[in-house]
């Protein structure tokens, strides 16, 4: 009788766990749309910082470089907090701190205050990068197609975010012309909504534990040892860091390019809105892209991105009329946004398929450390170049450097990352 009772209780627990998982999956699809990144922010932040706060384009790039550096420095503290309070509470905390980050930017009176806001922003997004994807991945049923299912759900949510972001980008640019602070206030309100939404997630497992710095450092050391043993994972981590660095650099330089060619600021949002929709469509079709290019997917996404950066610099130096210049610029922007959409989804699938739930956080931590360390150095280098040479030459120099980096990396990876990512777990599990 005792055994039957225990079985009955266990069954009830399993049913309750399944309900929590279903709730998380449904909520994730909504949450991701409004909370993946900062709505009403990116279309105008460059203009807000340069016009309202009076900092130079090179300083804006440094602003982002410091953000990446702070992500590197806050990696261990954020991981310890996740281990201490669990993923749900950590996610709630991260969304709340992001709202504070926006307030500090709005009321900042110096570059140092802006850097304080970046510390908070970095800390928040490190937590979000771990907890958001894990919330979904842990809620999916175990099996060979778990990674594919994750990519499908996340890809759809990701693409929908870009549709919403497109609308917010258009509105933010026109609202910026009315009053530069209006888009920032709306961004703050949306973050409060994200904060409230994150409270509705269910903690699937009791993950609370003691914060042990030495133990965490030891775990990271072990993770790096495992990474060094895995040729595929080592290659992917370095490749990802370089790709993210280029994305960050281009994010700022696109604004500078539009200003240099004479595009009115109120049209920035509309341009980035259309490009955001393109990214969303591309992200939604990441499965088709990977199916078509298979082992050449990373090459398909990276080489055009780097070459388009180089070409942007070239056309700025050419004596084109304004209409031709704008058209060519937008074509190159489109290429960059098409490449960006699938990448964010696929790279997570690549990493998730390497390891089990227990080790995934450790690998994610190691990935973030490597990504932020390398990316911060590259973005700081780009800001230095932008400070001493015009935008066109900066784009050419950066385009050449990153094209060479990708070619060398891809050549090295050719015989090491040839396996389809959905088969990693069968061949090389950590």
DSSP track, 45-97? HHHIIIIIS---HHHHHHHHHHHHHHHHHTHHHHHHHHHHH-HHHHHHHHHHH
Q: What pLDDT shows up at residue 416? A: 63
Say how many C-beta atoms besides its own lie within 10 A of residue 56's C-beta: 13
Domains and CATH numbers, the chain: 20-201+223-421 (1.20.1250.20)
Phi-psi region of 320 (alpha: psi -120 to 50; beta: other; left: phi over 0): beta
Q: What pLDDT shows up at residue 423? A: 60
Q: What pLDDT shows up at residue 205? A: 62
Q: What pLDDT shows up at residue 426? A: 55
Q: Confirm if 214 and 30 have CB atoms less than 8 A apart.
A: no
Report yes or no on whether pTM surpasses 0.85. Answer: no
Distance CA 342, CA 346 (A): 6
Q: Examine the pLDDT at 6 and tell me if it is beyond 50.
A: no
Detail the DSSP E strand segments found in 206-246: none
**For residues 4 and 394, which has the higher predicted lDDT (pLDDT)?**
394
Q: Confirm if 307 and 332 have CB atoms less than 8 A apart.
A: no
Q: What pLDDT shows up at residue 291? A: 76
Q: Examine the pLDDT at 208 and tell me if it is beyond 80.
A: no
CA neighbor of 351 nearest in space, from 220, 197, 212, 236: 236
Q: Examine the pLDDT at 4 and tell me if it is beyond 80.
A: no
Q: What pLDDT shows up at residue 393? A: 94
- Chain centroid to CA 370: 14
Q: Which residue's entry shows tokens 């340069």?
A: 50
pLDDT tens digits along 370-402: 888 888 899 999 999 988 999 899 999 999 999
* CB-count exposure of residue 301 (10 Å: 0-12, 13-18, 19+): buried
pLDDT tens digits along 20-46: 777 778 888 788 888 878 888 888 898
Q: What pLDDT shows up at residue 363? A: 72
Distance CA 42, CA 204 (A): 33
Q: Examine the pLDDT at 215 and tell me if it is beyond 90.
A: no
Q: What is the mean pLDDT of the chain?
A: 81
Q: What percent of the chain has pLDDT over 70?
A: 85
Q: Confirm if 320 and 303 have CB atoms less than 8 A apart.
A: no
Task: With cut-offs at 50, 70 and 90, classify the pLDDT of residue 332.
Answer: very high
């Amino acid at each position: 009788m005792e055994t039957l009772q225990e079985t009955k209780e266990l069954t009830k627990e399993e049913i309750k766990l399944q309900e929590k998982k279903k709730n998380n999956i449904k909520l994730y699809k909504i949450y991701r749309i409004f909370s993946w990144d900062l709505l009403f922010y990116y279309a105008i932040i460059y203009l807000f910082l340069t016009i309202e706060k009076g900092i130079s384009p090179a300083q804006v790039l440094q602003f982002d470089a410091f953000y990446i550096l702070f992500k590197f420095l806050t990696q261990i503290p954020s991981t310890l907090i996740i281990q201490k309070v669990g993923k749900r509470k950590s996610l709630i905390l991260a969304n709340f701190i992001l709202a504070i980050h926006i307030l500090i930017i709005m009321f900042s009176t110096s570059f140092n205050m802006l850097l304080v806001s970046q510390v908070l922003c970095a800390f928040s997004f490190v937590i979000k990068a771990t907890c958001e994807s894990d919330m979904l991945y842990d809620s999916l049923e175990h099996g060979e197609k778990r990674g594919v299912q994750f990519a499908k759900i996340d890809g759809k949510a990701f693409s929908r975010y870009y549709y919403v972001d497109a609308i917010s980008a258009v509105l933010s640019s026109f609202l910026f012309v009315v009053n530069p602070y209006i888009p920032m206030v709306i961004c703050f309100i949306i973050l409060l909504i994200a904060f409230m939404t994150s409270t509705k997630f269910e903690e699937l497992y009791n993950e609370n534990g003691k914060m042990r710095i030495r133990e965490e450092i030891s775990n990271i050391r072990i993770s790096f040892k495992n990474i060094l043993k895995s040729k595929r994972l080592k290659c992917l981590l370095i490749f990802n860091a370089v790709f993210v660095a280029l994305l960050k650099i281009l994010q700022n330089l696109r604004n500078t390019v539009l200003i240099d060619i004479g595009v009115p600021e109120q049209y920035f949002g509309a341009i980035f809105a259309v490009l955001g929709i393109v990214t969303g469509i591309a992200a939604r079709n990441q499965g088709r892209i990977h199916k078509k290019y298979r082992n050449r997917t990373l090459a398909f996404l990276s080489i055009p991105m780097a070459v388009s950066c180089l070409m942007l610099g070239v056309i700025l130096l050419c004596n084109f009329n304004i209409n031709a210049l704008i058209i060519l610029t937008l074509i190159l922007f489109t290429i960059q946004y098409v490449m960006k959409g699938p990448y964010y989804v696929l790279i997570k699938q690549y990493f998730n398929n390497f390891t089990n739930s227990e080790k995934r956080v450790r690998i994610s931590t190691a990935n973030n450390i490597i990504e932020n360390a390398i990316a911060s150095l590259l973005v700081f280098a780009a800001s230095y170049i932008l400070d001493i040479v015009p935008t066109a030459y900066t784009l050419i120099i950066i385009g050449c450097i990153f094209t060479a980096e990708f070619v060398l990396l891809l050549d090295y990876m050719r015989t090491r990352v040839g396996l389809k990512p959905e088969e990693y777990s069968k061949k090389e599990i950590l």
